[in-house]
Structure 1
């Protein structure tokens, strides 16, 4: 009898804990969706609440202010991207294939991203931007550097490259499409721009063997895109 009562109490407590976690997750996911579409500055807590059909007061039960919500969205995005990078590293056939796998994620992400997102973060949410800056300069740099080393060992990239310089170049080139002076003068969307940058980066590193490998994966990607449009 006592064990049954304890079990029931535990079940009720777990139910409310899970419901609480789910609500916080829904808020964060909706904020992410709206931030990506409209930028950080343009989206208010009222917008998020209205999109979810909840009160703004409910949001403040989970996040003290918009700064904290932006931090949570940024942290979750980093965690997700790190998981994807690790998956690509483990399941790719070679360094070039790893880049093409990553390109799928990048193109998908950039296709729904408002160009003002990073500018908004830098100007209005310095705490989140500081996290982003560290993530870019530490984690992304190490992922790219590891890929360059892998490509050299597989004889797909030229061995005479300065690994640190070329890795840092790639990290910084990620930011170019977010520059208002750049993207406002282009007729292409951010996904198209970033995809072109990635291909340029690959060909710049390629050995003769790597060049053939890039062409192979490029053609496979083109064929896949054509099949998807049928």
Structure 2
């Protein structure tokens, strides 16, 4: 692994554990046992590290989401598996990271927002349309509007100001929001699958 990638990986570990704002270039250098000067040979500033890191992680997410979608037997399984995947990743992230991105790294926040509104929303739209064809999702819903709702509520579920970590468990919040969404859009046939996958998640 080259030095640049080692810096990105170290930043990922520190940012996601402690938040972005609280981690300095000195912290990254110390974590890697290298000089700060070495870091500046590859990155102009911390903002560039954050942006590079987010680009990498979003590309990884695109590949992972594509695999989940391809392997899912139906829309209900896909939504539950996406929820579990996101919870496993974001559950390890310092809850302040989204606030830090939005306030201190607007260019990178715009990248994340674009991913959410373009890639993630389209994936939800495709899943809902597939569910309609399979008779699992009601055919009278506004697909675009509800895809937007779903992407917003996923992000909302990770907001510590709405769901304080000392009062709510991340997976329980995401499960409740997912269940609420699916019961709203699914047919009675779909509801049976929701009950099935909900039980599987709760038993894990």
Distance 1:186 1:145, change over 3 A: farther
Q: Deviations over 1:75-119 (max 9, x none)?
A: 011101000111011111111111122122111012111111111
TM-score (norm 2): 0.93
More helix by share: 1
Residue equivalent to 2:3: 23
List runs of 5+ in structure 2 lacking aligned partners: none
Q: What is the aligned residue count?
A: 204
State the superposition RMSD in angstroms: 1.7
Residue equivalent to 1:200: 180
List runs of 5+ in structure 1 lacking aligned partners: 1-18, 226-230
The reply to whether residue 184 of structure 1 matches residue 164 of structure 2 is yes
Residue equivalent to 1:56: 36
2:196 to 216, 223, 229: 216
Residue equivalent to 2:53: 73
1:113 to 86, 93, 98: 93
Aligned-residue offset at 1:134: 1.2
Return the alpha-carbon distance in structure 2 between the equivalents of residues 134 and 29 of structure 1.
23
CA contact (8 A) 1:106 1:191 kept: no
Residue equivalent to 2:113: 133
Return the alpha-carbon distance in structure 2 between the equivalents of residues 67 and 178 of structure 1.
23
TM-score (norm 1): 0.83
Aligned-residue offset at 1:165: 0.8
Residue equivalent to 2:131: 151
Return the alpha-carbon distance in structure 1 between the equivalents of residues 201 and 154 of structure 2.
21
Q: Deviations over 1:13-67 (max 9, x none)?
A: xxxxxx5xx2222211111111111111111111111112211112112211111
The reply to whether residue 40 of structure 1 matches residue 29 of structure 2 is no
- Which structure has the bigger radius of gyration? 1
Aligned-residue offset at 1:214: 1.3
